[in-house]
Structure 1
Amino acid sequence: MSENVKNMIGKVFSDIADAIETGAFGERVRVGVTLLGSEHGVDNTLKGAELAQKNNPNIEVIAIGPKVDTELTVYEANTEDEQHSVMESLLSSGEISSVVTMHYNFPIGVSTVGRVITPAGGKEMFIATTTGTSSAHRVEGMIRNAVHGIITAKAMGIAKPTVGILNVDGARQVERALNELKENGYGIEFAESMRSDGGCVMRGNDLLTATPDVMVTDSLTGNILMKMFSSYTTGGSIEAMGYGYGPGIGQGYDKTVLIVSRASGATVIANAIQYAGDLVRGKVSKISEAEFDAVQKAKLCDVTAALTKKDSKKPAEEEAEVVAPEAEVVTGSISGVDIMDLEDAVQALWKNGIYAESGMGCTGPIVMVNEAKVEKATEVLSKEGYVQ
């Protein structure tokens, strides 16, 4: 019997013995965690790492940081920059499959998908996204955030995640773009708001009840939401709930790096490590590759290019002053226009001889016109791309 065969047999029996001892029958994932950087000290992060190891026999937690008293394997690093260098080396070599860290700079195009537990019914929800920048263009960034959220949810075992768009600036443009991608063949399932008027644009109530599996927003808003969901029981002093700010997702990005806050407590750090292991087992990198391939086939680049082209043309179009038609009573309203397009939509109607005013209803921006001209005005706004 060759030495290689003996070694292979020895490893098999060793793995079986480990599985019997730990209960870890299945793929064991090595997840790194950096120890330095927490506002609550190294001991807090180490406690989270040890808790994750205790609660997840299918995960081997690897600590990266200063020498500490622990049974975990530790790769020594004594500064934040050094521990990031070590973690990147371990990821590249395959020594670890994923890592949880703090204050990490992702390239433009990569943003993180948070995972929270909502208070109304204890339901989980993904927030896309929470750190990083998917695009320098706000609306394009949110469109890509939706894809990042779908990728993460699928990797976590949700075959057809429902998607809602938080009612922030740009939401209606994002809705139109995602519908265009769906019409082009991209498989996206929209959630329906719990409010009586429905639709996939989500209200604050939908945040609390986790109406969609994936809540799409800009990263700055998502970051605030993560802090609120994770620390509303502590007064903000420590993040005590949820799974952290999540994995960096982006086209062509193949590392599984998850972010936690410097304010994250041990429980959140432990949950983030579990999240990291689950994403690896869910083959997040393969799903990401397949999902971006599908959305590109649905002409993602054309859809986003049209948005940026429209913005660049605005100054030239605004050179010619538009005169309002004669004022009339405006009791009819048209919703679905994005706040950033509201005044442009009004002027589009003026150009077509329809008097209109901008307003704000309980569900967001509205264009107000004469009741008898609602249908015609809606046709104009639809043709101009302001409503669906």
Structure 2
Amino acid sequence: MQSDNIVKTVAKIFNDIADTLETGQYGEKIRVGITTLGSEHGISNVVKGAELAQKINSSIEVVLIGPKVETELTQVIVENEEEGYKKMEEMLDNKEISSCVTMHYSFPIGVSTVGRVITPGKGKEMFIATTTGTSSSNRAEAMVKNGIYGIISAKAMGIKNPTVGILNVDGARQVERIFKELISNGYDINLTESTRADGGCVMRGNDLLAGTPDVMVTDTLTGNILMKVFSSYTTGGSYEALGYGYGPGIGEDYNRLVLIISRASGSPVIANAISYAADLVKGKVFEIAKNEFENANKANLKELLKSLNKESVKKEENKFVKMPEKEVVTGTIDGIDIMELDDAVSVLWENQIYAESGMGCTGPIVMVNERNLKEAINVLAKAGYNVKKAEDC
């Protein structure tokens, strides 16, 4: 009998050591909660995903928050969704769980979620920043913050110097300009190059499919759509079968680790989301967030973001500018965001250079007469636009 007890004690010690290597906490598992109510595929779908997550990763203890079900998992019984959210918050704040996965949550303004997908082109993982929540009411400011949130999530997942690309949507050029100013001020953002021949850190659809950057920066609504497409393009849309869900809510000084899944998420995605939550805990996501925000703020982040809001006010106050005499325009200038296109044309008109706006094969362009091309580029550059001569398609 005594020898049996010794064997059990030794076995427990070795199990605890194994857990310690994975969790950093001796004799403890990472407790990840999940609310079970609200799924379009029923509670059993959520429970199946939770059981799969715990089976695959022995360092995780999954805690179900919902009605009582038949399972060996730990359960906290609640009767409805509202009660479930309150219990989830209470358990997070009391450190009874380290993180929680849920199907809906109202984050405060300034917090949004970083999704994680597997891209179909090369089977590469990619973070989509962001997918739910609102980082800011100003579109470009929100996307700048989204990029930082994506970097935080990628670093917490063990990518020391994640590559960053900006999806070619409204505001992309403004975001590129702010990122480059942050870099020049000492904050390290590892901007990557598009796989397309003309390169640049503004990403195209090809880059989405190939997973060119580790972190793809976009606005939240576009990110949400991308998550749904990447998660369910093999199933017709009603069942999300791929990826890790919509991810953790990240924001400056925000310290509840809540990860979002969809009501359409299937059990494989739910299992992956729970694993994602546990890995963020192991990766000390809040410590990384604190460090990243400190470094970004040292690089003048807040003032740069204020400048975006000043630009919005300036656009509203723009005075009428008389158009110069019209002439043939065959010289093209790109690198200007579509939201700034009309203002760029006005700047050139003010400098007595006739210009028109247009759309080239790589995005918005300003068109001028060939003889004025060099002068126009210099005028726009001096006015703060991130411009370069458009190359042939």
Q: TM-score, normalised by structure 1?
A: 0.94
Secondary structure of the residue aligned to 1:185 is coil
Alignment of 1:187 onto 2:188: yes
Deviations 1:250-291 (A, max 9, x none): 000011110000000000000000000000000001000110
Alignment of 1:336 onto 2:335: yes
Q: TM-score, normalised by structure 2?
A: 0.93
Q: Do the aligned partners of 2:22 and 2:282 also contact (CA within 8 Å) in 1?
A: no
Secondary structure of the residue aligned to 1:113 is strand
Pairwise CA RMSD of aligned residues? 1.6
* Residue matched to 1:119: 120
Q: Do the aligned partners of 1:345 and 1:381 also contact (CA within 8 Å) in 2?
A: yes
Secondary structure of the residue aligned to 2:333 is strand
* Residue matched to 1:380: 379
Deviations 1:160-200 (A, max 9, x none): 00100000000000100111111111011001000000000
* Residue matched to 2:302: 301
* Residue matched to 2:144: 143
Secondary structure of the residue aligned to 2:22 is coil
Distance 1:18 1:42 in 2: 31
Q: Do the aligned partners of 1:164 and 1:190 also contact (CA within 8 Å) in 2?
A: yes
* Residue matched to 1:31: 32
Q: What are the equivalent positions in structure 2 for 1:1-388 lying under 5 Å apart?
A: 15-16=12-13, 18-19=15-16, 26-27=22-23, 28-318=29-319, 321-388=320-387
Deviations 1:208-259 (A, max 9, x none): 0000000000000000000000000000010000000000000000111100
* Residue matched to 1:7: none
Q: Which runs of 5+ in 2 are unaligned?
A: 1-8, 24-28, 388-393
Deviation (angstroms), 1:310:
1.6
Distance 1:17 1:289 in 2: 34
Q: Which runs of 5+ in 1 are unaligned?
A: 1-11
Distance 1:291 1:279 in 2: 15
Task: Count the aligned residue pairs.
Answer: 375
Cα distance change, pair 118–144 in 1 and its aligned pair in 2 (3 A): same
Distance 2:12 2:99 in 1: 21
Secondary structure of the residue aligned to 2:69 is coil
Percentage of identical aligned residues = 64
Secondary structure of the residue aligned to 1:26 is helix
Q: Do the aligned partners of 1:163 and 1:213 also contact (CA within 8 Å) in 2?
A: yes
* Residue matched to 2:391: none
Deviation (angstroms), 1:300:
0.7
Q: Do the aligned partners of 2:315 and 2:343 also contact (CA within 8 Å) in 1?
A: no
Q: Do the aligned partners of 2:252 and 2:289 also contact (CA within 8 Å) in 1?
A: yes
* Residue matched to 2:3: none
Deviations 1:70-100 (A, max 9, x none): 0000001111111111111111111111110
Distance 1:137 1:298 in 2: 20
Deviations 1:294-331 (A, max 9, x none): 1011111100101101211222223xx21111112111
Secondary structure of the residue aligned to 1:248 is strand
Q: Do the aligned partners of 1:25 and 1:58 also contact (CA within 8 Å) in 2?
A: no
Deviation (angstroms), 1:127:
0.1
Deviation (angstroms), 1:387:
2.0
